[in-house]
């Protein structure tokens, strides 16, 4: 019977992935009021496709999505204040790499664009993306 529910998207795989995503965001100090169901399901869909195509573990992809969203929402200064310079540098490198390569349709690029489209990105993140698009 569980397979039937999984087939229609109501099974435990999606629920487990979304619960992990939510817990990770909370652990990363992101206010869950910023993350609506549409965002959650879009991220799940993108991660599912990436997992199918690359063989990456779904849990890993959902945690990585939460980490990048956290960086975009909190911004570099708050990320460093919460978790230190090492974590900030790691997330900054990931963010800057997307901008430097001009990626449009990678998982990370779509996550960044989603936070911008939902107007939940920190002002300094929004300014950097706007500047990189302009020049």
6 in any annotated domain = no
pTM exceeding the 0.95 threshold for the entire prediction: no
4 in any annotated domain = no
Q: Tell me the residue range of the domain where 67 lies.
A: 11-134
94 in any annotated domain = yes
Residue with tokens 């019977």: 1
pLDDT in tens, 96-119: 999 999 888 899 999 999 999 999
120 in any annotated domain = yes
DSSP, res 23: H
5 in any annotated domain = no
Q: What is the mean pLDDT of residues 65-73?
A: 97
Percent above pLDDT 70 for the chain: 87
Q: How confident is the model at residue 1 (pLDDT cuts 50, 70, 90)?
A: very low
2 in any annotated domain = no
Mean pLDDT of the chain: 89
Alpha carbon 59 to chain centroid, angstroms: 13
The answer to whether the beta carbons of residues 65 and 72 sit under 8 Å apart is: no
Maximum pairwise Cα distance, the chain: 55
The Cβ of residue 17 has, within 10 Å, a number of other Cβ atoms equal to 20
3 in any annotated domain = no
pLDDT of residue 82: 93
Q: How many domains does the chain fold into?
A: 1
């Amino acid at each position: 019977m569980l397979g039937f529910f999984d087939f229609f998207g109501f099974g435990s795989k999606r629920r487990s992935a979304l619960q992990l995503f939510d817990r990770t965001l909370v652990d990363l100090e992101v206010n869950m009021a910023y993350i609506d169901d549409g965002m959650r399901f879009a991220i799940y869909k993108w991660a599912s496709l990436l997992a199918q195509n690359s063989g990456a573990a779904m849990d890993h992809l959902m945690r990585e999505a939460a980490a990048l969203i956290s960086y975009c929402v909190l911004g570099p200064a708050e990320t460093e204040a919460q978790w230190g310079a090492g974590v900030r540098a790691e997330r900054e490198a990931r963010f800057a790499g997307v901008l430097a390569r001009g990626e449009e349709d990678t998982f990370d690029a779509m996550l960044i664009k989603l936070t911008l489209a939902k107007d939940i990105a920190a002002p300094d993140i929004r300014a950097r993306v706007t500047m990189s698009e302009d020049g």
